[in-house]
Amino acid sequence: MYIKAGVDISRLNPEIRRTLKPVSVILNKERVLFGVSSTYEGNHPTHSKHYGHDAYNVSLSNIVGHLSQSAIKQNLGPDFDVVFESNLIHTEYYPK
């Protein structure tokens, strides 16, 4: 798994951090080139789960993200929101 320079995954809370492996497996299986591009760094809305260390973005190299997003959402279950946003997948821990 590629992690963009300056991105710190060490602060991610355990629930969301545990999703990095299954997300990586799914994207590798679908032959998607990807990298973790944001956790708490960068500009996010003030209410964003990024600042609470419960979210990350994965940048994608090709536009099959909507297919990957469905597989990731199904794998992670109802306590996680997985959103495809043009060239990235936003994943956050949001317990129901």
pLDDT over 90 (residue 1): no
The distance from CA 67 to its chain's CA centroid, rounded to whole angstroms, is 14
For residues 23 and 51, is the Cβ–Cβ distance under 8 A? no
- Express each pLDDT in 41-85 by its tens digit: 878 888 899 999 999 999 988 766 667 888 999 999 999 999 988
Class of domain 2-93: alpha beta
pTM over 0.75: yes
Domain boundaries, the chain: 2-93
Task: Report the alpha-carbon distance of residue 71 to residue 47 in Å, rounded.
Answer: 26
Q: Which residues lie closer than 8 Å to 64 by C-beta, 6 or more apart? A: 30, 32
What's the Cα-to-Cα distance from 88 to each of 13, 16, 49, 75, 96, rounded to whole Å? 21, 17, 16, 18, 24
Which one-letter amino acid corresponds to residue 45?
A: P
